[in-house]
Amino acid sequence: MSTDQMTGAEIILKALADQGVEVVFGYPGGAVLPIYDAFFKQNAIRHILVRQEGGAVHAAEGYARSTGKPGVVLVTSGPGATNAVTGLTDALMDSIPVVCLTGQVATHLIGNDAFQECDTVGITRPCTKHNYLVKDINDLARVIHEAFYVATSGRPGPVVVDLPKDIQLGSGTYVPPKAGKHKSYRPQVKGDIGKIREAVELLVNAKRPLFYSGGGVINSGPNASKLLIDFVKMTGFPITSTLLGLGAYPASDRQFLGMLGMHGTYEANLAMHGCDVMVAVGSRFDDRITGRLDAFAPNSKKIHIDIDPSSINKNVRVDVPIVGDVAHVLEDMIKLWRADTRRPRKEAIDAWWQQIDQWRARDCLRYKASNDIIKPQYALERLYAAIKGRDDAYITTEVGQHQMWAAQFLKFEKPNRWMTSGGLGTMGYGLPAAMGVQVAHPDALVIDVAGEASILMNIQEMSTLAQYRLPVKTFILNNRYMGMVRQWQELLHGGRYSESYMDSLPDFVKLAEAFGAVGLRASKPSEVDDLIKEMIKVKKPVIADIAVDQAENCFPMVPSGAAHNEMILGDEVGEPKARVTDAGLALV
Amino acid sequence: MSEQLRRHTFSVLVDNEAGVLARVIGLFSSRGYNIESLTVAAIDEVANISRITVVASGTEMVIEQIKHQLGRLVPVHKVTDLTMEGPFLARELALVKVAGTGDKRVEALRVADIFRARAVDTSKNSFVFEISGTTEKIDAFIQLMKDLGLVELSRTGVVAISRGAATT
């Protein structure tokens, strides 16, 4: 036997180290014991012991989104793998690079219904970008390197590597990562220059142009954000963003119209409805963005930049499809725009801005302030006032009303500061994701904006925060309801609040204390500022329980099945049911 | 936008590895695409490549989606929409069991001859015909055999290749 023979478990850790992995989020079990044994004997890679495998995947997602590096997960076979499924699906929907190593029963037991056996590759096939079952130790190192390549290149996503126990225990040869092309998976990064030229042709002739950027800009990296800012400034055109794209373009800039879509701003949605040339940059025309498809931006020519050809013409037919990486395409587009002497007619663009400013003046996020009861919007305004200007503030959210309010009221100036479950809409995402962010940025201010319902879905991770002294702040907008469910029941189901009231909630202050964290509570508007100040000051994990208005709804809202110009605004809610068609009611 | 349904034949070169067919089939079922026929076999033992031929139907947008969705599967080397790319040949093979005696048996043999189907198994009261050709030809043959004692049928599904010297 040659001297470079290693055990499978050693090969796995060596491969992770060579891939630059610094931290793994995991949970041990029978089928991964050899890997944990190898962990015990090394110091290069840190292991964060979560309290449930679902938390490990969300933590890896938070780590990935806030660093741009892949997040790594290690779980055992059977229930370890099945608990990871929600997180994997979440990462697939939001294009987050995650490598998830799962233990598996020994190869000779596969298919025998062994203890803690499940068909991990079968179960995770539809919820991963790709997955592997390693059956030969001589493939092990190559497969792990390939998993990182697949997870991080093209449109990023989760990759599972299923590792039978006998492979971990066996001995084989390690091979280092190999540069060079993958034999079959080679996503196109450079855009077709002819198409980019067509796009520039549309832009120089535009009268009512609009940029519509998405998570793809953030996935493409900081340079893509920089190029986007450059190009938007250069053109003077307005820009809106999807939920996942927030931060790619600075929210405080005058050309930014806020988020669009179901709970987007009045100006962003009407600009989308009225534009004549749209540039979709790393965004995928999700149904939460488009509303009713046949009335979506009806009079526009559409340019779509996306690295995934299957995102193009999936929901909306576009006129100029450009397959490629956002940064590469924008770079070429800027060159062509600069080389072109023509510019859009100034009067037309000025008139478009006048129109947009009129919509803006509608002040669509206005809400009825109160001296007695805390409005959720008020709590977030005060939170924003406290963190504004801080480069090291990272926000995660759970899913629901609080998430949409956070997207509306917190302004992001830079990419990778905003982590939210957009595509899958996973309640319970925010706390473990914040944990992953805090692991990556130990000195940063990491806040999970939460609802009292969502937070209970992964509350066990408070224990992980305590163990690793991760000072994550959980900012609960507590309305004692699954707020978004309640809102839909009010608007669409005759106010029949079926099972959406959160009865028997824990005392969150005592709960925090039980987990060795600090609990804070505010129930009057006058207490909010002090709470936020204290929350930020404390160097420990905090649960801040803010009792907010139970009846507050999140507006503007484009009801399901409606078009952007049919949105409901907060101060004009009359008989909204009349606006929802039967077909719309069937949509989620 | 044309909502008309069209039928396209795709040729997909994949790594011949465990699970690759499940990925392709899973893609069609999870996205709700219609498969009319799917065949798969190894074609290159050295490079370990299989060719999957899929006949699928859908609107123009769905057909385009199918191509791109197949293309982004990691073990897929190449996807060719043969219907889009130009002239191609598509053939399938069927084994058709016909039981009967007397006039019907004689007529079955005569029809088989016209279709250039071969009798590959014979008993006193049955034939198994082997026929290959386009889907339409086989459909027509089967239609005729229904009246002549067709009792069992096995079809391969379509295999296809482009015409001319160019390869896919």
A313 and B77 in contact by Cβ < 8 A?
no
Q: Do B30 and A126 touch (CB under 8 A)?
A: yes
Q: Which of B140, B123, B122 is nearest to B131 (CA)?
A: B140
pLDDT digits (tens, 9 = 90+) for A88-120: 999 999 999 999 999 999 999 999 999 999 999
Q: What is the largest CA-CA distance in chain B?
A: 57
Inspect the interface and report whether the beta carbons of B30 and A310 lie closer than 8 Å.
Answer: no
**Chain A closest CA to B77's CA: distance in Å?**
5
SS3 of residue A588 by DSSP: coil
Contact (CB<8Å) B61/A314: yes
H/E stretch holding A483 reads: helix A483-492
Catalytic position from the list A53, A117, A461, A552: A53
Question: What is the CATH superfamily name and number for domain B89-160?
Answer: ACT-like. Chain A, domain 2 (3.30.70.1150)
CATH no. for residue A199? Answer: 3.40.50.1220
For the stretch B63-122, pLDDT in tens is 999 999 999 999 999 999 999 999 999 999 999 999 999 999 999 999 999 999 999 999
Q: Residues A278, A427, A457, A484: which is the catalytic one?
A: A484
Residue B26 C-alpha, separation from nearest chain A C-alpha, in angstroms? 7
Model pLDDT, residue B25: 95
Regarding whether A168 and A85 lie in a shared domain, the answer is yes
Least confident of A165-169, A173-177, A253-257, A578-582: A578-582
pLDDT in the model for residue A3: 59
Per-residue pLDDT tens over the stretch A299-335 = 999 999 999 999 999 999 999 999 999 999 999 999 9
Confidence of residue A578 (pLDDT cuts 50, 70, 90): very low
Alpha-carbon separation of residue A430 from A59, A63, A396, A511, A545 (angstroms): 9, 12, 5, 18, 15
pLDDT for res A285: 96
| Residue A129: closest CA among A219, A12, A8 | A219
Q: Does A577 have pLDDT greater than 50?
A: no
Residues A377/A409, Cβ–Cβ less than 8 Å: yes
Query: Residue A183 domain-assigned?
Result: no
Range of the domain at A220: 193-360
What whole-number percentage of chain A has pLDDT above 70? 98
How close is the nearest chain B Cα to the Cα of A560, in Å?
22
What pLDDT is attached to residue B1?
47
Q: Is the pLDDT of residue A575 over 60?
A: no
Q: How confident is the model at residue A396 (pLDDT cuts 50, 70, 90)?
A: very high
Least confident among A448-462, A556-570, A571-585, B135-149: A571-585
pLDDT exceeds 90 at position A208: yes
pLDDT at A588 over 70: yes
Would you say residue A579 lies in a domain? no
Active site residue A198: no
Identical fold for domains B6-85 and B89-160, yes or no, is yes
- Non-local (6+) Cβ contacts of A376 within 8 A are A401, A402, A405, A477, A479, A546, A548, A549, A552
Mean pLDDT for chain B? 96
The number of C-alpha atoms within 13 Å of B147 and in the hemisphere containing its C-beta is: 7
Residue range B25-48: mean pLDDT, rounded: 95
Taking the Cβ of residue B17 and every Cβ of chain A, the question of whether any pair is shorter than 8 Å is answered with no
Q: How confident is the model at residue B3 (pLDDT cuts 50, 70, 90)?
A: confident
Only one residue has tokens 């199918």, namely: B66
pLDDT (0 to 100) of residue A579? 61
| CB atoms near residue B84 (< 10 Å) | 13
Give the residue extent of every domain in chain B: 6-85, 89-160
Q: Tell me if residue A535 is catalytic.
A: no
Q: Is residue A573 part of a domain?
A: no
Asked whether residue A204 is assigned to any structural domain, the reply reads: yes
Average pLDDT for A17-36 = 98
- Kindly state whether residue A182 falls inside one of the protein's structural domains: no
Interatomic CA distance for residues B98 and A1, integer angstroms: 63
Q: Are residues A250 and A311 in the same domain?
A: yes
CA distance A147 to A397: 28
CATH classification number, B6-85, choose in 3.30.70.260, 3.40.50.2300, 3.40.50.1580, 3.40.50.300: 3.30.70.260
Same domain, A423 and A341: no
Q: Give me B7's structure tokens.
A: 């039928």
Q: What's the mean pLDDT when you consider all of chain A?
A: 96
| pLDDT value, residue A1 | 47
- CATH code, domain with A493: 3.40.50.970
Q: Is A487 a catalytic residue?
A: no
Residue A566 resides in a domain: no
**Residues A59 and A166 grouped into a single domain:** yes
Average pLDDT of the residues in A231-252: 98
Q: Which two tokens stand for residue A76?
A: 């055992």
For chain A, how many structural domains are there in total? 3
pLDDT of residue A573: 57
Is the per-residue pLDDT at A200 higher than 90? yes
Statement to judge: residues A157 and A275 lie in one domain: no
Q: Tell whether A390 and A301 lie within a shared domain.
A: no
Is A526 within a domain? yes
* Whether pLDDT at A40 is above 60: yes
Catalytic residue from among A165, A301, A375, A473:
A165
